[in-house]
Amino acid sequence: MLQIENTIVSFDVLELKFVCELGACKGACCVEGDSGAPLEEEETKQIEDVYETVKKYMTPMGIKTVEKKGKWIIDSDGDKVTPLNNNKECVYTYKDKSGIVFCAIEKAFLNKEINFHKPLSCHLYPIRITKYKDFDAVNYERNKLCIPARVNGERLGVPIYKFVKAPLIRKYGAEWYEQLEIAVEELSKQNRINQY
């Protein structure tokens, strides 16, 4: 584990390789799971603010579910999350012609219609952050659906922390990320982690 400011980063995040392979997984991380995407407190308001713009990219079922359950809900663990269609895929998803699942919120963002990219928990995936009283634990979430992403990451030589650079900076800032890169370089020199 590596400590940077108020975070503890798992060596898996530094050593393991990962690059999404959407042709293989078809965006399964937006479909599989016990609950919707975890939301930060401010993200509930952001979703409410962008919903009318995002709605045009959503499926009819997603819209119907939002109208019934709300734009976000509190799950059985007491966490704020996105609602699910039939306890399966996130309401804010849609499929392209090839059957790959994408995020309607992100589509509106990429089309420069809104300023909210998508929930941070989605942007960070496969990293999951667990908040404790004095620190955040930054861990890699192992998921059999992402085996093709691990294979692709190995082929391309991209460690997880580099794959999720933008969302890590979004969460902790550029200075934090610079400290992470310096620490990884030093740990590699000392042979304490295997980055290559």
- pLDDT tens for each residue of 169-195: 999 999 999 999 999 998 887 776 666
Amino acid in the structure at residue 21? E
- Say which residue the tokens 């989605």 belong to: 122
Q: What does the pLDDT average to over 64-92?
A: 93
Chain-centroid distance of CA 35 in Å reads 14
Q: What is the pLDDT of residues 130-140, one digit of tens each?
A: 989 999 999 99
The 10 Å CB-count burial string (b at 16+, else e) for 163-175 is bbbebbeebbeee
Q: What is the pLDDT of residues 61-76, one digit of tens each?
A: 999 999 999 999 999 8
pLDDT of residue 64: 97
CA-CA distance, 178 to 158, in Å (whole number)? 17
Backbone angles phi, psi at 148, to 5 degrees: -60, -35
3-state secondary structure of 167: helix
- What are the structure tokens assigned to 5, written together? 């400011």
- What are the structure tokens assigned to 173, written together? 């800032």
Partners of 136 in the β-ladder: 7, 131
Strands 101-103 and 93-95: antiparallel
